[in-house]
């Protein structure tokens, strides 16, 4: 397993113990923790959840607000520093907001997964689902990107960043989800992040176990 000793990763990482699995969370504002106190964002809350499970893991917040899949591809190589053992990839939301061509998102995500392969880094790929307002063809093309790439590269896969907000596998009516979002209706508040972490946490434990095999 590729692991360095204690280090700082481009100012984003804190001190990691030598026996910890180091995980880079590559994403956009949802990962970065937009609009929230520093300790209530996705990465800090997920770190506390993992600590409570007894997982020996250290998370690096590699989320950049506004980033597209192209932005993630542009910085993946310097995100995958030698001490990184695994990576959570949560990108695509800004591609959707801008109505970018699904084929471009696929190519960018494929490039990210190829970089992870080159660095021998295990990946959890978190999916995104296109809204219906772009039409059924766009939605069909976009939604299959993530499961198909996960199968192609043998990555772990979670169907949606918002899986923890689902009720019995179904996303509730948006009105009922308002208490879990900030006023922009896009970014989760601290309570929403807590539920999101509950949904993604078990997959991250699988990711950690995979790095230890």
Q: What is the pLDDT of residue 11?
A: 41
Q: How far is CA 102 from the centre of its chain?
A: 18
Q: Tens digit of pLDDT for each residue in 1-54?
A: 444 322 333 344 445 566 899 999 999 999 999 999 999 999 999 999 999 999
Q: What is the pLDDT of residue 172?
A: 57
Whole-angstrom distance, CA of residue 88 vs CA of residue 200:
10
Q: What is the pLDDT of residue 12?
A: 43
Q: How far is CA 172 from the centre of its chain?
A: 22
Q: What is the pLDDT of residue 212?
A: 84
What's the mean per-residue pLDDT of the chain? 90
Q: What is the pLDDT of residue 166?
A: 81
Q: Considering only residues 11 and 193, tell me which one the structure prediction assigns the higher pLDDT.
A: 193
Q: What is the pLDDT of residue 72?
A: 98
Whole-angstrom distance, CA of residue 162 vs CA of residue 185:
13
Whole-angstrom distance, CA of residue 45 vs CA of residue 67:
21
E strands, the chain, in order: 21-27, 57-63, 86-90, 122-126, 156-158
55-70 average pLDDT score = 97
Burial class of 24 by CB neighbour count within 10 A (0 to 12, 13 to 18, 19+)? buried
* Dihedral pair phi/psi, residue 126, rounded to 5°: -100, 125
- Put residue 210 in one of left, alpha, beta given phi > 0 → left and psi -120 to 50 → alpha: alpha
152-170 average pLDDT score = 88
168-180 average pLDDT score = 72
Per the structure block, which two tokens stand in for 90? 């949560």
- List active site positions: 29, 184, 187
Which CATH code, of 3.40.50.1110, 3.90.100.10, 3.40.50.720, 3.40.50.2300, is assigned to 21-212?
3.40.50.1110
Whole-angstrom distance, CA of residue 177 vs CA of residue 6:
41
54-78 average pLDDT score = 97
Strand ordering across the sheet containing 21-27: 57-63, 21-27, 86-90, 122-126, 156-158
């Amino acid at each position: 397993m590729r692991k360095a000793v204690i280090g700082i990763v481009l100012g984003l990482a804190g001190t990691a113990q030598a026996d910890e699995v180091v995980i880079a969370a590559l994403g956009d504002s949802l990962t970065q923790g937009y609009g929230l106190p520093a300790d209530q964002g996705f990465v800090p809350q997920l770190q506390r959840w993992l600590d409570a499970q007894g997982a020996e893991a250290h998370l690096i917040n590699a989320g950049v607000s506004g980033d597209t899949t192209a932005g993630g591809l542009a910085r993946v190589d310097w995100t995958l520093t030698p001490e990184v053992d695994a990576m959570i990839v949560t990108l695509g939301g800004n591609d959707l907001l801008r109505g970018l061509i699904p084929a471009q998102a696929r190519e960018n995500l494929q490039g990210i997964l190829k970089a992870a392969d080159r660095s021998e880094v295990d990946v959890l790929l978190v999916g995104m689902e296109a809204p219906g307002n772009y039409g059924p063809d766009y939605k069909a093309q976009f939604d299959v990107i993530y499961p198909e790439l996960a199968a192609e590269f043998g990555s772990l896969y979670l169907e949606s960043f918002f899986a923890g907000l689902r009720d019995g596998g179904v996303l509730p009516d948006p009105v009922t989800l308002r208490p879990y979002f900030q006023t922009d209706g896009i970014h989760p508040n601290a309570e929403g992040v807590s539920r999101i972490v509950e949904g993604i946490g078990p997959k991250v434990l699988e990711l950690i176990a995979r790095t230890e095999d």
